[in-house]
Each structure stands twice: as C-alpha cells, then as structure tokens.
Amino acid sequence: MKTILNVTELCKTYIINKRQNNVLKNVSFKIDEGEMVAIMGPSGSGKSTLLYTVSGMDKMTAGSVEFCGNDISSLKENELAELRLEDMGFIFQQMYMMKNLTVLDNIILPAVKSKRNKESRKETAARGRELMNKLGIAEVADNDINEVSGGQLQRACICRSMINRPQMIFADEPTGALNHRSSDEVMEELTKLNDEGTTIMLVTHDAKVAAKCTRVLFIVDGNIKGEYNIDRSVSLRDRERGLNNWLLEMGW
C-alpha cells in the first residue's frame, strides 16, 4: 500500500520568554493511502501542533516529513504553499471563509488559484455545485456565509478541501464547534470520503468521532504513547466501547 505521509523523529520546539518548550519529541509514524487516522490526547499534548507541522503549515525543528515522496523541510515557501494548495485539503474547527464571497465562490476559490486547474470558471463552478450536492448543501450555493448554519458551513469547508482533488485531508477538530447532530452529519460525510479512497488525518478530543476512523494515535507530552487499530466492520457501539477501554488504559 502506498505511504502518503512518513514522519520520522519529528521535533518541534518553541522559545517562549527565553525558555525552550519541546512540544513534539521524536515523533515517528506513517499514514498509508486510504487510512483515516485520528490524533487524540490530553489538552496541550501537541495534537494540533503535530497536524500543523506535518502538513507544512508550521516549521519543524528537527526530523523529517515526507508527503507523497516530497521532503517538506527541503521545500521553499512558495513550493510548500503550492503543495498545500494542490495536494492537501484543510478543515478547521473555526470555519474560515471569505465574507465577501458566496458559499460556492468560497468553495471553488482554491481551484481558481490553482495552476494545475485547466477548467473554465464555469466548469469549476459546476464541479463545486456537484460537491455541494453530494454533501447535501446545494441549496445554499449562492448564499452569503452568514446565511447558513454551522453544520452547512462545515460541510462547505469539506467541499472546499476536496475541490483540488487532494492526496490527503488534514482536519483539526472538525466537529469541535458543532452541535451533536451537525457533528454526526459532518463525520458521516468524512467517513464517506474515506470509504471512497480519500486519506484523512484528523485531530479530535471526542472518542465518538475517533471511533469512526481506522486508526487512533494517542499523544502525551509530545510523544506518541500508543496506537489503536479500529475494525469498521463491527458496530459503532462496539468500536466506541473498545476505543474507550483502550483510552482508559492509556490514561485518558
């Protein structure tokens, strides 16, 4: 199976008030094509820092990260920005969108900016509408972003993350700002994308969310303490029970 993300001895250190804060300490793991991997751990354990560093949004201090065979530490800023635009998709807890654009225009913006995209704007817009239809939000395409619900807006963010057909989606607490129903809807869509072959890495504090993934990495004080493989052929309730038991063993 093709390895999408290969992380080796990754370290991330911040200097705050002349004090060294080692947030990530010799972290190593791989994510293969088609996996959906959750990163879990206590608050301040380094979950989000790990996601931002392996996706090239933050600079690593030491170690190596290979994304689809590219050593991201060797890339220039413009090359890294292009890699993120073309081959990565991003979903955040806060649903950042341009206020002066419609929902559809926000979704297709990365494709409009893409050098690889040879479609006309009309063709790109049609593809954006197809994605919105697939995620059940086609009716809000021409709405302003303040005219839709949080669940609809997060599904629009998923559409935007997919518009350039990325190799992998990185999601930081994608359900953290949503109510229970919207959270379930968003996770259902992410699970569908994964079932169709999209590789996903997501940070979550919610075991119900993580139970819908294929693997969980548990991080404590900047180190990966353990990993847990999930069999999605068993019932969600059994998956949640098994994961919760393992998390308790890990000191959750």
Tokens of 228: 């847990």
**Three-state secondary structure readout of 221-241:** CCEEEEEEECCCCCCHHHHHH
Q: How far apart are CA 230 and CA 242, in angstroms?
A: 9
Mean pLDDT, the chain, whole residue set: 94
Place of tokens 């669940």: 151
Q: How confident is the model at residue 17 (pLDDT cuts 50, 70, 90)?
A: confident
pLDDT (0 to 100) of residue 183: 87
pLDDT (0 to 100) of residue 19: 83
Does residue 103 or residue 189 have the better pLDDT?
103
Q: How confident is the model at residue 153 (pLDDT cuts 50, 70, 90)?
A: very high
Say what the alpha-carbon torsion angle 172, 173, 174, 177 is, to the nearest 10 degrees: -130
Q: How confident is the model at residue 96 (pLDDT cuts 50, 70, 90)?
A: confident
pLDDT (0 to 100) of residue 18: 78
Q: How confident is the model at residue 244 (pLDDT cuts 50, 70, 90)?
A: very high
Contact 203, 39 (CB under 8 A): yes
The full set of domains in the chain, from first to last, is 3-98+170-249 (3.40.50.300)
Q: Coil, helix or strand for 101?
A: coil
